[in-house]
Amino acid sequence: MSHRHSEIFAHRGSSARCPENTMAAFYGAQADGADGIELDVQLTGDGQVAVIHDHVLDRTTTGTGLVRSHTMDEIRQYSAGSWFSPAFSEERVPSLLEVLEWISSTPLKLNIELKCPAWDRQELAEAVEQLVRKCGVSKKVIYSSFDHLALKVLERLSPDTERAALIGGTIIDAEKYAVQNHFSGLHVYYPMIDEQTAEAIIGRGLALRLYTVNDPDWLAYFLKQGVTAVMTDDPRSAVDIRKGK
């Protein structure tokens, strides 16, 4: 058993109990005792930054079509909660600005995952960084992306802000890859990591956060191992497991 303390990040907010990537899910994460929140961002048609996972509106809103083909005002007309439950029908797709303004007055950390096609990389990274700077929250932010080149753009814009590469598979010498590319951490799909690799990553002073860990046995395992953080849809249950309940 490790003496290291693991943080609990609410994946898309408290998304097991609330519609993902909504203010209700983010408030829920804080109420559940999470240490941080993970959310997804994309550019809208008018160059604003919306908090939504899919590239299309269809699954999580009452709208249809590409996020990039709608203005933020248009997107805000749709419900982002009724797909989950009628109780959440008033929820809207948040702007990143709305989340940043709220989170600045909380102790929560914020993992902003940039979801961008290559052609939007520069514009999305610039727009996100500008908002984070404006709200003065860069110290509590961790940028992540499957697009590692987006993280290199962010390195140029804000060298001191944490950046973590998302990894959905196995990378040989992952810790060397991270160090070479000036990433402060790796966010890894949890079935892809073995204990030796985890220790190699943490041993190099890198953050290791695992997604998306919902199974209670795996949560207990990784919390005991002392990874930097687990990302979970159900932070309330993870907090209970960490307390040994």
Are the CB atoms for 35 and 108 separated by under 8 Å?
yes
Instruction: Name the binder of 183 from ligand G3P, Ca ion, none, CB < 5-8 A by kind.
Output: none
53 among known catalytic residues: yes
Name the site residues for Ca ion (rule: CB under 5 A): 40, 113
Name the site residues for ligand G3P (rule: CB under 6 A): 11, 38, 40, 53, 113, 144, 166, 187, 211-212, 231
Residue 214 vs 237, nearer CB to ligand G3P? 214
Instruction: Name the binder of 144 from ligand G3P, Ca ion, none, CB < 5-8 A by kind.
Output: ligand G3P
Distance CA 20, CA 59 (A): 11
Indicate left, alpha or beta for 190 from its phi (over 0: left) and psi (-120 to 50: alpha): alpha
Kindly state the smallest distance separating residue 111's Cβ from Ca ion, in Å: 8
Retrieve residue 47's tokens: 């160059």
Ordered DSSP codes for 60-88: TSS--SBGGGS-HHHHHTS-SSTTT-GGG
Residue 53 vs 92, nearer CB to ligand G3P? 53
Catalytic member of 3, 5, 53, 182: 53
Distance CA 94, CA 174 (A): 34
Kindly state the smallest distance separating residue 73's Cβ from ligand G3P, in Å: 25
182 among known catalytic residues: no
- What positions carry a catalytic annotation? 11, 53
